[in-house]
Structure 1
């Protein structure tokens, strides 16, 4: 498709679009729509799928997981189709930032795991699949969502090298750093042995 805007204007446009898509708090929207109350007052107060699962509604949790991943993927794919790879990477980064720091929730958002996986699937699908498999295997073995996220994020850098997608290495380094930053409380609990298991508060 032809570019709508060229140069710096296009990058700014896709940064805004990416942030806008990423900032949609699907966990909050779905739980309210399904009569489950205010997600920010449930469990950890986080707006992601793991905390949605603590409401006891698996459908809401699955919907949150898919939509949080999709918004990152859509931002990348739209920007790539209309403005090229640089715009796609910037839109992806801003979608992640939007999820973690949404203006609608006073910049208090999620930890970005599903959005990270969606981004990786859109940016480099073999890497994305490997990251999803890494998360799934770690979750099956450890049954700790945060640990699964951290392992999947860290190993994404290895999968980038293995599959030859080095052009997204810098972006992925930034995303991984943000994932670890957003999980700093979880890391402290993991070290203390007090991190809850999947499905428990």
Structure 2
């Protein structure tokens, strides 16, 4: 019973789209209307607002970490074991991909997946983050960095902890990340993928124009 409650709560936490929230707070256009139309930090960065992008990245990462941390910290006293923690990890990630608060139109899950990994184990999260940073710095493609990090994350987990229920959750997240980046894979192969920091048309601040007298 409590495992179900923790899982539902995790999904609801994951359903908070910080890309949309941050864009509204900073007076920017809805990230679902320009660029890749993905409500994530990389697309928000295309608006030209680094602050909004950082807020999005921090929020999406934090919600993944928070859901898993709550399950690990308080779940045991309610009978939530490793299998329940694995369900929570998947639930918060699914909430980001298909958020109930935003008509099930969510992001691709990179920052939230990082938060989940950090919640499971700090070293696991850091190893995956370093992988992302190295690839992103070398090639300037956020999507390529995410794909490589997604492939390595289960390997890192298995190396650190072996095979268990939480490894299944990590593998499931990695597969979903690859699936959500299918269009990016096509763009990378065709040489059409946008690089990190490139601006997009239609990403201007969503404020009414002031008529000149």
Q: Tell me if TM exceeds 0.5.
A: yes
Matched with 1:53 is 45
- TM-superposition CA deviations, 1:72-110 (whole Å, max 9, x none): 110001011222333322111100000000112211100
Kept after mapping to 1: 8 A contact 2:67/2:88: yes
Instruction: State the partner residue of 1:5.
Output: none
Paired with 1:195 and 1:35, the residues of 2 have a C-alpha distance of 27
The 5 A counterparts of 1:104-119 are: 104-119=101-116
Q: Tell me whether 1:139 sits opposite 2:131 in the alignment.
A: no
Question: Quick check: which has more Rg, 1 or 2?
Answer: 2
Q: Does 1:97 align with 2:89?
A: no
* Higher RCO (CA-CA < 8 Å; seq separation 6+): 2
Return the alpha-carbon distance in structure 1 between the equivalents of residues 11 and 29 of structure 2. Answer: 26
Q: Of residues 155, 172, 177 in structure 1, which corresponds to 2:175?
A: 177
Write the distance in 2 (CA, Å) between the matches of 1:39 and 1:183: 17
TM-score where L is the length of structure 2: 0.87
Q: With structure 1 as the length reference, what TM-score do the two structures score?
A: 0.92
Between Structure 1 and Structure 2, the one with more helix by share is 1
Task: Give the aligned CA root-mean-square deviation in angstroms.
Answer: 1.2
Q: Which runs of 5+ in 1 are unaligned?
A: 1-8
Query: Which consecutive unaligned segments of at least 5 residues does structure 2 have?
Result: 77-81, 201-213
